Amino acid sequence: MRPDPAAIPPSAPAENLTDHLGMWAFLATEVLFFGGMFVAYTLYRSVYPEAFRFGAQTMEFGLGTINTAVLLTSSFLMACADRLLPTRRRAWTHACFAGTILLGVTFLAIKAFEYHSKVTHHLVPGPGFQNHSGVPTLQLFFVLYFAMTGLHAAHMVAGLGVITWVWRRYAKASDPAQAASPVAIGGLYWHFVDCVWVFLYPLFYLAGR
Amino acid sequence: MKILPKTDSAPSAGLAEPLAVFSALLALLAISASTTLLPPSAWKGPAGLLIAAAKAALIVTFFMRLRSARGLVRVFAAAGLFWLAILGALILADYLTRA
């Protein structure tokens, strides 16, 4: 009698491949999720270039640049945690996880400060929006700014949850190999969120400068 | 969290590649940020996006390990970009070809 293939426990490499394929398939849907917004940005910017040039000049360029560096460093530390995981350097691996999370929180804190600045300058789209630029479609720029950076920030919050969870898996594992796949998969998500910001930076902070 | 062993040594092996990629990423960010010091030009927008694409390529290739991934994983990774290209091209074709 032939064994039921479904009853055979999958080997570790097969599980690993399935995990990776699953996450990459999910990331493909995320590319389309953000992609629709990037296409909307491209479209509106080509139609209303003045609104985007003026709007980008109201952005805190220094804070945007610092935040980009913060996120790239966070991604780097996550890559280090992934590389150090099979080694016996547990303290360094823990430090990389902690650094990844700390920098993720730093990014969100800087972003919150920027949002607060927009609120105090009445640049949040809606009835209270104050447009002193003379560019009638300026509000459209801020609709996209808050939608795209807000969606990214929501992904950051989710990402922090994912990294905390995989860190816990690693901390609890008696053999680091048990946590290798979750850490790699969680890292993929974190790096993807970093990639999205890499494109948001020139679109919102460098345009018109 | 487990109590950290006292025998931990400083990391070295295995981190050379992430460190090199991270240095390249920061260098690209510095180039991107310094373009704001140049006088206005129509090339600055595309240059900023090109640098962003280079940064993303480094992250995907090395941090996300696509370089050493199986072919099938790479196909999955490319699929999202391919669908996005179709979405973008067909939507923008309408607006950008209007007289």
- CATH H-level superfamily of A37-206: Cytochrome c oxidase, subunit III, four-helix bundle (1.20.120.80)
A101 to chain B nearest CA, in Å? 15
> What is the DSSP annotation of chain A?
-PPPGGGSPPPHHHHHHHHHHHHHHHHHHHHHHHHHHHHHHHHHHHH-HHHHHHHHHTS-HHHHHHHHHHHHHHHHHHHHHHHHTTSS-HHHHHHHHHHHHHHHHHHHHHHHHHHHHHHHTT-SSSTT----SS-TTHHHHHHHHHHHHHHHHHHHHHHHHHHHHHHHHHHH-SSTHHHHHHHHHHHHHHHHHHHHHHHHHIIIIITT-
- Please check whether residue A43 touches B, CB under 8 A: yes
Q: Which residues of B touch A188 (CB under 8 A)?
A: 64
pTM of the model: 0.90
Domain ranges within chain A, ordered by starting residue: 37-206
Cβ contact, residue pair A209, B36, below 8 Å: yes
What's the gap in Å between the CA of B22 and the closest CA on chain A? Answer: 6
A22 has a chain B CB within 8 A of its CB: no
Taking residues A42-55, report their average pLDDT.
92
Mean pLDDT confidence for B79-94? 91
Record: contact B59-A25, CB cut-off 8 A: no
Tell me: pLDDT of A3 over 70: no
Specify the pLDDT at position B50.
96
Predicted pLDDT of residue A88: 82
Chain B neighbors of A30, CB-CB under 8 A: 80
B-chain residue closest to A52, CA distance = B45
Give me the residue from A25, A43, A94 closest to B95, CB to CB.
A43
Q: Which residues of A touch B65 (CB under 8 A)?
A: 184
Q: Which residue has the higher pLDDT, A18 or A9?
A: A18
**In the structure, what pLDDT confidence band is assigned to residue A133 with cuts at 50, 70 and 90?**
confident
* Model confidence pLDDT, tens digit, residues A141-178: 999 999 999 999 999 999 999 999 999 999 999 899 89
A71-128 per-position pLDDT tens digit? 999 999 999 999 999 988 899 999 999 999 999 999 999 999 999 999 999 999 999 9
